Amino acid sequence: MGARVVVLDYGFGNVRSAVRSLERVGADVTLTADRSAAQEADGLVVPGVGAFAACMDGLKAVRGHEVVGRRLAGNRPVLGICVGMQVMFDAGVEHGERADGMGEWPGVVERLQAAVVPHMGWSPVEVPDGSTLFEGIADERFYFVHSYAAQTFAKGHDEKAVGIFSPPKVTWADHGGRFVAAVEDGPLAATQFHPEKSGDAGARLLENWVRSLA
């Protein structure tokens, strides 16, 4: 039996395609909002599409933010996808309205500063050395569809912390300016792009994550 993975079903996200993609790479997948199942699984996937504030409301309705917090406190893996990544930051600002996120990472998700928004299509990424998610696929392109992103990432870059904490591995992409394309931070990993829509490269990324759950 493969690693037990729960895709959190809270009303937002390409849940069916995420489930199928994870099953194809060998995971034993359950789509549910049940907190006990989400807490006990080897890995939890938090998908997300649409507005930041609406996704946060959906997560709170099923107490998904509590599950994520408890899992991370216990060093249990979580993977966020698209808006499921964005809500890990402090806040999101859309149409002038600010909504609180889960605060796992400092920073604010804001509209991309590009001539054409949304950013839709295949883009390369800049992968840091030692990435587990991107092992074997650092030179590939991935499928993005979004208008907002975190455009800075500060956590782990305090020189005083080096040698005490392992800094997050941050992957970047560009659309009218650099933005955070993925983060690997201990048990918490996330991608702004959609691995489930990114062909063979996305499948390999999900396979890398599922393999890391063992």
CATH number of the domain encompassing residue 27? 3.40.50.880
The pLDDT score that the predictor gives to residue 154 is 86
Instruction: Answer whether 13's CB lies under 8 Å from 47's CB.
Output: yes
Q: CA–CA distance from 182 to each of 6, 81, 134, 193, 211 (Å)? A: 20, 9, 10, 8, 18
Asked if 192 and 83 count as a contact pair (C-beta separation under 8 A), the reply is no
Residue 36 has pLDDT above 90, yes or no: yes
Is the predicted pLDDT of residue 25 greater than 70, yes or no? yes
DSSP state of 197: G
The pTM for the full model equals 0.95
Domain of 157? Answer: 4-212
Q: Is the pLDDT of residue 156 over 90?
A: no
User: What pLDDT does residue 165 have?
Assistant: 59
Q: What residues are labeled active site? A: 82, 194, 196
Indicate if the alpha-carbon torsion angle 82, 88, 93, 98 is positive or negative. positive
Residues of the chain with pLDDT > 70: what percent? Answer: 95
- Please give the tally of structural domains in the chain: 1
114 has a pLDDT exceeding 90: yes
Lowest mean pLDDT among 16-30, 122-136, 151-165: 151-165
Contact 49/12 with Cβ under 8 angstroms? yes
